[in-house]
Structure 1
Amino acid sequence: MDALAGAAFPRAARLLEPDDFVRALKTRAQRGRYLWVYRRTDGASPGGEAIAAATSIAPPPVRPRLGMMIGKKNARTAVLRNAVKRRIREQFRQRQSGLPPSQYVVRLSASVSAKDVQAIIAEWTAALDHDIRKHARTQAPAGNAPAEVRP
Protein backbone atom coordinates (compact mmCIF):
# COMPACT_ATOMS: atom_id res chain seq x y z
CA MET A 1 0.00 0.00 0.00
CA ASP A 2 2.51 2.62 1.17
CA ALA A 3 5.82 2.38 -0.66
CA LEU A 4 7.66 3.79 2.38
CA ALA A 5 5.89 1.89 5.15
CA GLY A 6 7.98 2.15 8.30
CA ALA A 7 9.40 5.50 7.24
CA ALA A 8 6.86 7.54 9.16
CA PHE A 9 7.47 10.78 10.98
CA PRO A 10 5.90 10.15 14.40
CA ARG A 11 5.91 12.52 17.33
CA ALA A 12 8.96 10.71 18.78
CA ALA A 13 10.97 11.77 15.71
CA ARG A 14 10.36 15.48 16.32
CA LEU A 15 12.15 17.94 18.55
CA LEU A 16 9.38 19.52 20.58
CA GLU A 17 10.93 20.84 23.78
CA PRO A 18 12.66 24.23 23.83
CA ASP A 19 15.51 22.71 25.87
CA ASP A 20 16.24 20.27 23.04
CA PHE A 21 16.56 23.16 20.60
CA VAL A 22 18.80 25.11 22.98
CA ARG A 23 21.15 22.15 23.50
CA ALA A 24 21.34 21.44 19.77
CA LEU A 25 21.96 25.09 18.93
CA LYS A 26 24.99 25.10 21.21
CA THR A 27 26.78 22.73 18.84
CA ARG A 28 28.75 23.87 15.81
CA ALA A 29 26.59 24.32 12.73
CA GLN A 30 27.27 23.04 9.26
CA ARG A 31 26.74 26.25 7.35
CA GLY A 32 25.56 26.33 3.79
CA ARG A 33 24.20 28.98 1.49
CA TYR A 34 20.62 28.63 2.78
CA LEU A 35 20.72 26.37 5.83
CA TRP A 36 22.58 25.95 9.06
CA VAL A 37 22.34 22.35 10.24
CA TYR A 38 23.02 21.69 13.91
CA ARG A 39 23.63 18.12 15.11
CA ARG A 40 23.72 16.84 18.64
CA THR A 41 24.23 13.22 19.59
CA ASP A 42 21.03 11.95 21.11
CA GLY A 43 21.30 9.39 23.85
CA ALA A 44 21.53 8.87 27.53
CA SER A 45 24.55 10.24 29.30
CA PRO A 46 26.77 7.82 31.23
CA GLY A 47 24.74 6.72 34.21
CA GLY A 48 21.66 8.33 32.72
CA GLU A 49 19.81 5.01 32.62
CA ALA A 50 20.23 4.57 36.39
CA ILE A 51 18.97 8.11 37.00
CA ALA A 52 16.04 7.54 34.66
CA ALA A 53 15.19 4.27 36.43
CA ALA A 54 15.42 5.88 39.86
CA THR A 55 13.23 8.82 38.90
CA SER A 56 10.88 6.73 36.70
CA ILE A 57 11.61 8.99 33.73
CA ALA A 58 11.79 7.21 30.40
CA PRO A 59 15.23 7.37 28.76
CA PRO A 60 15.42 9.52 25.64
CA PRO A 61 14.51 7.77 22.40
CA VAL A 62 17.43 6.38 20.47
CA ARG A 63 16.47 7.61 17.02
CA PRO A 64 17.19 10.63 14.87
CA ARG A 65 14.97 13.60 15.67
CA LEU A 66 14.30 16.76 13.67
CA GLY A 67 13.50 20.34 14.59
CA MET A 68 13.15 23.24 12.19
CA MET A 69 13.53 26.99 12.47
CA ILE A 70 12.00 28.51 9.36
CA GLY A 71 11.13 32.11 10.17
CA LYS A 72 9.14 34.86 8.51
CA LYS A 73 12.24 36.98 8.16
CA ASN A 74 13.76 34.60 5.61
CA ALA A 75 10.67 33.01 4.05
CA ARG A 76 8.11 35.79 3.79
CA THR A 77 4.93 33.88 2.99
CA ALA A 78 3.29 31.04 4.90
CA VAL A 79 3.03 29.08 1.67
CA LEU A 80 6.80 29.24 1.19
CA ARG A 81 7.59 28.43 4.84
CA ASN A 82 5.28 25.43 4.78
CA ALA A 83 6.67 24.19 1.47
CA VAL A 84 10.23 24.33 2.80
CA LYS A 85 9.28 22.58 6.04
CA ARG A 86 7.26 19.91 4.23
CA ARG A 87 10.12 19.10 1.86
CA ILE A 88 12.75 19.06 4.65
CA ARG A 89 10.55 16.76 6.72
CA GLU A 90 9.97 14.43 3.76
CA GLN A 91 13.70 14.04 3.04
CA PHE A 92 14.37 13.37 6.73
CA ARG A 93 11.55 10.82 6.86
CA GLN A 94 12.91 8.94 3.86
CA ARG A 95 16.48 8.82 5.20
CA GLN A 96 15.96 8.44 8.96
CA SER A 97 16.61 4.68 9.01
CA GLY A 98 20.25 5.27 7.98
CA LEU A 99 20.91 8.23 10.27
CA PRO A 100 22.66 8.05 13.65
CA PRO A 101 20.56 8.74 16.77
CA SER A 102 21.07 12.50 16.79
CA GLN A 103 19.09 15.67 17.16
CA TYR A 104 18.99 17.75 13.99
CA VAL A 105 17.97 21.38 13.98
CA VAL A 106 17.63 22.98 10.55
CA ARG A 107 17.71 26.75 10.49
CA LEU A 108 16.97 28.83 7.42
CA SER A 109 19.73 31.44 7.31
CA ALA A 110 19.06 33.47 4.18
CA SER A 111 16.11 35.15 2.53
CA VAL A 112 14.61 32.79 -0.01
CA SER A 113 11.96 32.72 -2.68
CA ALA A 114 9.98 29.88 -4.23
CA LYS A 115 12.67 29.34 -6.89
CA ASP A 116 15.24 28.57 -4.15
CA VAL A 117 13.34 25.62 -2.65
CA GLN A 118 15.10 23.05 -4.87
CA ALA A 119 18.52 24.37 -3.84
CA ILE A 120 17.52 24.34 -0.16
CA ILE A 121 16.42 20.73 -0.38
CA ALA A 122 19.58 19.76 -2.29
CA GLU A 123 21.65 21.33 0.50
CA TRP A 124 19.65 19.46 3.16
CA THR A 125 19.84 16.10 1.41
CA ALA A 126 23.60 16.52 0.96
CA ALA A 127 23.96 17.06 4.72
CA LEU A 128 21.81 14.00 5.47
CA ASP A 129 23.64 11.81 2.96
CA HIS A 130 26.97 12.88 4.48
CA ASP A 131 25.76 11.80 7.92
CA ILE A 132 24.45 8.49 6.54
CA ARG A 133 27.83 7.71 4.95
CA LYS A 134 29.67 8.72 8.13
CA HIS A 135 27.35 6.60 10.29
CA ALA A 136 27.71 3.61 7.94
CA ARG A 137 31.52 3.81 8.22
CA THR A 138 31.37 3.78 12.02
CA GLN A 139 28.89 0.89 12.02
CA ALA A 140 31.02 -1.31 9.69
CA PRO A 141 31.70 -4.69 11.31
CA ALA A 142 35.15 -5.16 12.80
CA GLY A 143 35.49 -8.47 10.92
CA ASN A 144 36.40 -6.59 7.76
CA ALA A 145 39.64 -5.26 9.26
CA PRO A 146 42.83 -7.08 8.21
CA ALA A 147 44.03 -9.56 10.77
CA GLU A 148 47.16 -8.77 12.73
CA VAL A 149 50.05 -11.03 11.77
CA ARG A 150 52.26 -12.25 14.63
CA PRO A 151 55.74 -13.68 14.00
Structure 2
Amino acid sequence: MEQTFARRYRLTKTDEFSSVFGFRKAIRGKLLMLHYQPRPESNTEARLGLVVGKKLLKRAVDRNLVKRIVREQFRLRRAALPPVDLVVRLANKPAPLDRKQVADDFVALLDKLQRPRNKRDGQ
Protein backbone atom coordinates (compact mmCIF):
# COMPACT_ATOMS: atom_id res chain seq x y z
CA MET A 1 0.00 0.00 0.00
CA GLU A 2 1.23 3.48 -0.85
CA GLN A 3 2.09 5.47 2.28
CA THR A 4 2.77 8.94 0.85
CA PHE A 5 0.72 12.11 1.06
CA ALA A 6 0.46 12.60 -2.70
CA ARG A 7 -1.04 15.64 -4.39
CA ARG A 8 -4.21 13.76 -5.31
CA TYR A 9 -5.02 13.43 -1.59
CA ARG A 10 -4.83 17.20 -0.99
CA LEU A 11 -7.21 20.07 -1.48
CA THR A 12 -5.13 22.65 -3.33
CA LYS A 13 -7.44 25.20 -4.93
CA THR A 14 -9.46 27.96 -3.26
CA ASP A 15 -12.62 26.69 -5.00
CA GLU A 16 -12.18 23.25 -3.42
CA PHE A 17 -11.91 24.75 0.07
CA SER A 18 -14.87 27.06 -0.62
CA SER A 19 -17.11 24.22 -1.75
CA VAL A 20 -16.36 22.23 1.42
CA PHE A 21 -17.04 25.25 3.66
CA GLY A 22 -20.16 26.04 1.62
CA PHE A 23 -21.54 22.53 2.13
CA ARG A 24 -21.90 23.52 5.83
CA LYS A 25 -21.33 20.11 7.41
CA ALA A 26 -18.87 20.09 10.29
CA ILE A 27 -17.89 18.12 13.37
CA ARG A 28 -16.32 19.93 16.29
CA GLY A 29 -13.72 18.45 18.61
CA LYS A 30 -11.85 19.87 21.57
CA LEU A 31 -9.18 21.61 19.48
CA LEU A 32 -10.08 20.98 15.84
CA MET A 33 -13.07 21.42 13.59
CA LEU A 34 -13.61 19.02 10.69
CA HIS A 35 -15.59 20.34 7.70
CA TYR A 36 -16.54 17.69 5.16
CA GLN A 37 -18.29 17.16 1.86
CA PRO A 38 -18.95 13.83 0.10
CA ARG A 39 -17.17 13.44 -3.25
CA PRO A 40 -18.94 12.43 -6.50
CA GLU A 41 -19.41 8.73 -7.20
CA SER A 42 -16.55 8.61 -9.69
CA ASN A 43 -14.01 9.52 -6.97
CA THR A 44 -13.10 6.90 -4.40
CA GLU A 45 -10.44 8.62 -2.28
CA ALA A 46 -10.57 11.09 0.60
CA ARG A 47 -8.75 14.42 0.30
CA LEU A 48 -7.48 16.72 3.03
CA GLY A 49 -7.08 20.47 3.37
CA LEU A 50 -5.69 22.30 6.41
CA VAL A 51 -6.32 25.77 7.81
CA VAL A 52 -4.32 26.89 10.85
CA GLY A 53 -4.52 30.64 11.36
CA LYS A 54 -2.12 33.06 13.02
CA LYS A 55 -4.87 34.25 15.31
CA LEU A 56 -4.78 31.03 17.36
CA LEU A 57 -1.12 30.04 17.00
CA LYS A 58 1.26 32.95 16.59
CA ARG A 59 4.44 30.97 15.91
CA ALA A 60 4.87 29.39 12.48
CA VAL A 61 6.66 26.47 14.15
CA ASP A 62 3.50 25.63 16.12
CA ARG A 63 1.20 26.04 13.10
CA ASN A 64 3.41 23.74 11.04
CA LEU A 65 3.54 21.17 13.85
CA VAL A 66 -0.27 20.99 13.96
CA LYS A 67 -0.39 20.55 10.18
CA ARG A 68 2.27 17.83 10.24
CA ILE A 69 0.45 15.89 12.97
CA VAL A 70 -2.92 16.05 11.17
CA ARG A 71 -1.36 15.08 7.80
CA GLU A 72 0.35 12.07 9.34
CA GLN A 73 -2.84 10.82 11.05
CA PHE A 74 -4.74 11.30 7.77
CA ARG A 75 -2.06 9.42 5.85
CA LEU A 76 -2.25 6.48 8.24
CA ARG A 77 -6.07 6.27 8.11
CA ARG A 78 -6.72 7.33 4.50
CA ALA A 79 -7.47 3.82 3.19
CA ALA A 80 -10.33 3.34 5.67
CA LEU A 81 -11.99 6.71 5.00
CA PRO A 82 -15.05 7.17 2.78
CA PRO A 83 -14.67 9.35 -0.36
CA VAL A 84 -14.97 12.82 1.18
CA ASP A 85 -13.22 16.16 1.01
CA LEU A 86 -12.05 17.19 4.48
CA VAL A 87 -10.94 20.59 5.73
CA VAL A 88 -9.46 20.63 9.21
CA ARG A 89 -9.06 23.90 11.05
CA LEU A 90 -7.98 24.84 14.52
CA ALA A 91 -11.08 25.79 16.54
CA ASN A 92 -9.55 26.57 19.96
CA LYS A 93 -6.18 27.78 21.06
CA PRO A 94 -4.32 24.92 22.74
CA ALA A 95 -2.85 26.21 26.02
CA PRO A 96 0.36 24.22 25.81
CA LEU A 97 0.64 22.64 22.37
CA ASP A 98 0.40 18.90 23.03
CA ARG A 99 1.10 16.60 20.08
CA LYS A 100 -0.86 13.67 21.49
CA GLN A 101 -3.92 15.81 22.20
CA VAL A 102 -3.97 17.17 18.63
CA ALA A 103 -3.55 13.66 17.15
CA ASP A 104 -6.20 12.13 19.43
CA ASP A 105 -8.66 14.93 18.66
CA PHE A 106 -8.25 14.43 14.90
CA VAL A 107 -8.61 10.63 15.18
CA ALA A 108 -11.79 11.11 17.27
CA LEU A 109 -13.20 13.42 14.56
CA LEU A 110 -12.47 10.81 11.88
CA ASP A 111 -14.20 8.16 13.99
CA LYS A 112 -17.27 10.41 14.32
CA LEU A 113 -17.25 10.97 10.56
CA GLN A 114 -17.23 7.24 9.81
CA ARG A 115 -19.92 6.36 12.35
CA PRO A 116 -23.46 6.24 10.92
CA ARG A 117 -25.48 9.10 12.33
CA ASN A 118 -28.75 8.50 14.15
CA LYS A 119 -31.81 10.55 13.39
CA ARG A 120 -32.63 12.84 16.31
CA ASP A 121 -36.19 13.57 15.27
CA GLY A 122 -37.39 10.04 16.15
CA GLN A 123 -38.18 8.78 12.64
TM-score, normalization by structure 2:
0.83
Q: How far apart are residue 120 of structure 1 and its match?
A: 2.0
Q: How far apart are residue 80 of structure 1 and its match?
A: 0.5
1:140: which partner in 2? none
Aligned length: 115
Instruction: Please tell me whether residue 35 in structure 1 is matched to residue 32 in structure 2.
Output: yes
Work out the CA distance in 2 between the residues paired with 1:7 and 1:100.
17
User: Helix, strand or coil for the counterpart of 2:85?
Assistant: strand
User: Helix, strand or coil for the counterpart of 2:98?
Assistant: helix
Pick 1 or 2: higher relative contact order, CA cutoff 8 A, min separation 6: 2
Q: How far apart are residue 8 of structure 1 and its match?
A: 1.5
2:85 counterpart (103, 106, 118): 103
Work out the CA distance in 2 between the residues paired with 1:41 and 1:28.
10
Q: How far apart are residue 88 of structure 1 and its match?
A: 0.2
TM-score, normalization by structure 1:
0.69
Contact kept in structure 1, 2:53 and 2:63, CA below 8 Å: yes
User: Helix, strand or coil for the counterpart of 1:24?
Assistant: helix
- Compare CA radii of gyration and give the structure with the larger one: 1
- Structure 2 portions without partners, runs of 5+: 117-123
Query: Identity of paired residues, percent?
Result: 36
- Structure 1 portions without partners, runs of 5+: 45-58, 135-151
Instruction: Please tell me whether residue 20 in structure 1 is matched to residue 20 in structure 2.
Output: no
More helix by share: 1
Instruction: Please tell me whether residue 62 in structure 1 is matched to residue 41 in structure 2.
Output: no
**For residues 1-151 of structure 1, what are the structure 2 equivalents within 5 Å?**
5-26=1-22, 27-43=24-40, 61-134=43-116
